[in-house]
Amino acid sequence: MTVVMVVGLASGCGATRADDRGGDTLRVVGPFEIHSLEPTATSGFFTRLEVAETLVTADLEGNLAPGLASDWSPSQGGRTWTFELVPDVTFHDGTPLTPEAAVDSLETVRRDEASPLAAAPIEQIAATDTGLRFELSEPNLTLPAVLTHYSTMILAPAAYDDDDHVSELIGTGPYRIDRIELPASIEVTRFDDWRGTPPEIEKVSFQSVSRAESRALMATSDDADVVWHLEPAGRQKVEASDGVSMASTLQPRTIMLKVNNDHPILGDPDVRRALSMALDREAMAEAVLREPELAATQLMPPSLTTWSQPDLAPLEHDADGARQLLESAGWEADDDGVLTKDGEALRLNLLTYPDRPELPALATAIQASAKEVGIEIDVEVTNSSEIPVRHADDTLELALVARHFALVSDPLVTVAETFAPAGSEWGVQNWSDPQLTAAVDQLLTGPSEDRAEELRATIVTIAQEQLPLVPVAWYRMNAAVQDRVEGFVFDPLETSWHFSQVRWAS
């Protein structure tokens, strides 16, 4: 489903495990901030750091794999699922993982609407002698995939306070928390009672650094061992430096405009089409991402081979066509070239965030492209948490977001949430289509592959025609890795950073 890059770097610079600048600690830097310990609010940070685990995980190809559950099976046509726990698992506080502890953890998270587990048709989660049993109100074949989502991490009973909020992150993974200073700094240490092969790297530290220029400097000056998300200028610096290499992978992620489809202006499909036609995606991908082939011609990236539709008429840049559409919709240019209608200017607010350094630069490029056809866009760069807030209070107009379609290993789960008729914080807003909704519902019943292929094509085609979300670019994730590190594995699904498999160059 995706492309994986593995980096096994040689020790050409003579760095050793006793390197004075890093010692036994793997120093990791990225733009991410963690503002809460609640599982749904961590963006997978603690599962990626291998502090906490889920019942089911995914391998590097996106296939389901055992996590805390050794195996699982359905019965009653998919209305009951049984999961057998791996025996003799211990939480970081020394208490055993019991079926009851797993049930309590999952029951807590499924009360949180931000978890995909909350949308699953679960009537009851019960403990068995050796595992868990899920009783469902209707057949659901995607439940094991839902349980790969980071929000379903299993935490110890002592992790929760009296109100069932997480007060301490106590998991079962190969690393345990040493220190947390939210939102920017976390240190973990090898967990000696881990059931698997002990990690060679004893300690991992993470530091949030928001400025891309600072991250690039840390990568090239050996102030960090792994640096996530470098912008093009930073990548060029790394590529020209000794002792550090770049790794990258095309992700199942799309950078797109989230649109309020009930907005007085954006509620008109012709305005959305005109905005899409105004975007010179290839030029933006060339200028900002330095890869013109990342220009999104449809919502689903080519890395999602079962969802991408190569025969679909692509989204294209057509400024003249955009102007004609807007004119037909009643918009006329004033003396300054700004489009107006009934005395109101075609002016929109675009919200984005700096966690992914490409987004603010792409937002500025979108602003410039839109202005050429008479659409005025004000760009606001703020915390990513502001997007769900403005979705909820319906004040959002446009938001530039990066949507990962495989955080749950089966993309169907994310697609269903993205196009939920009631709306989705990181998907559609004030938009639904009966035919698309019916196609999603049919896919969830597990039709034949031929029928599933038809249904996926229906969903992608309707999204392309109506543009409730406007695709901008596909996404390549990158990291700078020091030569003293060997065995770095790039997981395009971001299920884990796999630091437990990393070792020092000898």
As given in the structure block, the two tokens for residue 77 are: 């046509």
Which pLDDT score is estimated for 24? 86
Buried b / exposed e over 185-222, threshold 16 CB at 10 Å, is ebbbbbbeebeeeebbbebbbbbbbeebeebbbbbbeb
Which pLDDT score is estimated for 212? 87
- Asked if residue 186 has pLDDT above 90, the reply is yes
What's the pLDDT band for 8 if we cut at 50, 70, 90?
very low
CA 380 remoteness from chain centre: 21
Q: Which residues contact 156 (CB under 8 A, 6 or more apart)?
A: 91, 92, 93, 95, 101, 170, 171
Which pLDDT score is estimated for 23? 60
Q: Where are the domains of the chain?
A: 252-476
CA 83 remoteness from chain centre: 26
Helices (H), 240-345: 269-278, 281-284, 319-328
**Alpha-carbon span 25 to 30, nearest angstrom:** 16
- Kindly give the interhelix angle for 358-372 and 269-278, rounded to the nearest 10 degrees: 110
Asked: is 252-476 a CATH 3.10.105.10 domain? The reply is yes
What count of other Cβ atoms lies within 10 Å of the Cβ of residue 465?
12
| Mean pLDDT along residues 64-83 | 96
The pLDDT tens digits for 437-459 are 999 999 988 899 999 999 999 99
**Alpha-carbon span 257 to 243, nearest angstrom:** 38
| CB distance 266 to 257 below 8 Å | no
Which pLDDT score is estimated for 2? 38
The pLDDT tens digits for 224-269 are 999 998 988 888 899 999 999 999 988 899 999 999 999 999 999 9
| CB distance 200 to 192 below 8 Å | no
Cis peptide before 198 (omega within 30 of 0): no
Q: What angle do CA 31, 200, 173 make, to 5 degrees?
A: 65
Buried b / exposed e over 151-180, threshold 16 CB at 10 Å, is bbbbbbeebbeeeeebeebbbbbbbbbeeb
- Asked if residue 303 has pLDDT above 90, the reply is no
| CB distance 183 to 383 below 8 Å | no
The pLDDT tens digits for 134-149 are 999 999 999 999 999 9
The H or E element that residue 361 is part of is: helix 358-372
| CB distance 418 to 406 below 8 Å | no
Q: Indicate the range of 41-45, 185-189, 215-219, 499-503 predicted with least confidence.
A: 41-45
- Asked if residue 20 has pLDDT above 50, the reply is no
Sheet containing 344-345, strands listed edge to edge, beginning at the edge strand earlier in sequence: 332-333, 339-341, 344-345
